[in-house]
Each structure stands twice: as C-alpha cells, then as structure tokens.
Structure 1
C-alpha cells in the first residue's frame, strides 16, 4: 500500500471521529497510484444535513487537536449534502445518504485498495 503512515494515522482518527457522530458506511481507499494528487479518499455518510455537518466538525476538531492538521480547502459546508475536506495527502468526503447512493464513489473506486480502519473507540497506535 502506498499510503504513508502519517496519513493512515489521520484516517484512523477521522474514522473514530466520524463513528463518534454515528456516521454510516465509513471507508477509505488508497488512490495514490491512480491519482498522484492525493494518497487516499475517506468516505462516510449520514441521514441528515445536520448530521453531515456534525460529522465534519468532529473530524476537523479531532485532526486539529491530535495532529495539528487543518484542511487546505473545504467545500459544501453550506448545503450539508456533500462536504469535502482536502488535507492534501487525503480527502474526506462526508455525504448525505442520498448523495452517497446517487454519486456512488464507492463503486467508482471499488478497484482501489481498501484501507483498514479501526472501529469506534479502538486505541490508536
């Protein structure tokens, strides 16, 4: 897998933060060999726009507090249907369930290597 250890650690933190806010279908894929502009995509979904925003806030807070990371770019925050956080080496996609089903990013990247993510509250290494 081409994803560096610091990125894996950040994805694990994001996974736990998303799970803390009851995100659904949490997953991540290694896109480094296919894209060249980022190492990984992180996906999660939620039932409401409010929950999408809550998940994004929790992820941002956790990454800032634990790794002192801030997103380079944030898109979609106002609508709360599909929010993207670009951290450079990885990109977080939190989508409303309808957008997740409609755009099917999981299917688009189904041939990319999956990244193992911890379950909620699993200790970080």
Structure 2
C-alpha cells in the first residue's frame, strides 16, 4: 500500500536527495503567501553538468520510489543542463551551475520578506 505524503514531506524528501548527492547551498523557499506558481521552491547548485544530472535523477528517483510514484509534471533544461527545473505542481526544484545561479538570482527574488 502506497503512503501518501504531505507536500512538506515531499519537499523534505527532495531536499534529502539533494543533500545525499552533495548538492550545494540548498535553500527551500515557502511561497504559499508570495506566489501562486507553487507552494515551495527548492534551489540548489552543482559544480558540473554531470552533477546537475545526478541531482535531478536522484530527486526524481527518490520521489518516485518513496512518495507513491510521484513524478514531475514537467521537466525543463535536462538537455542543456545549466538550469534544470523539476515541476511537481506544489513545489518546484531548481538546479543550477554555480555561475548560472548567481546570474539568475532566484534567491534574491524569493528571499525577501
């Protein structure tokens, strides 16, 4: 029997997957009162294109395995790899190369009070 996890538990699983594969500077932003795009954004950095792919694969695999087969509704950037986005509707995982994360500055946008 599959156990249905809360959004917060799903976000925690995704974050743990990133930590396990050495994602850097992992941040979770609660957007419930700031945006209608998603309830949470998870942002993480990687040092290389292969590491971004590894991080994306780990998040997808972990959620599919441990969250009742949960899969992203949409994936962007897997081919280019500089910014990979995994959209799970209620939360979105953003994976960047270090320099691209700095360039796009999502942290500055969502870290405001």
Total equivalences in the alignment: 108
Post-superposition shift, 1:37?
Answer: 3.1
Runs of 5+ consecutive residues of structure 1 not aligned to the other structure: 113-125
Q: Deviations over 1:6-39 (max 9, x none)?
A: 1111111111111111100011111121212310
Normalised TM-score (structure 2): 0.91
Runs ≥4 in structure 1, deviation > 3 angstroms?
Answer: none
What's the secondary structure of 1:32's corresponding residue? coil
> Is it true that 1:10 corresponds to 2:10 in the alignment?
yes
List aligned pairs for 1:93-112, cutoff 5 A.
93-112=94-113
- Tell me: higher relative CO, structure 1 or 2? Use CA pairs within 8 A at least 6 residues apart: 1
Match of 1:69 in 2: 70
CA distance in 1, matches of 2:112, 2:82: 25
Match of 2:36 in 1: 36
CA distance in 2, matches of 1:37, 1:77: 21
Q: Deviations over 1:60-95 (max 9, x none)?
A: 000000002100000000011100000000000011
Q: Deviations over 1:23-62 (max 9, x none)?
A: 0001111112121231010000000011001000000000
CA RMSD of aligned residues (A): 1.2
CA distance in 1, matches of 2:88, 2:100: 22
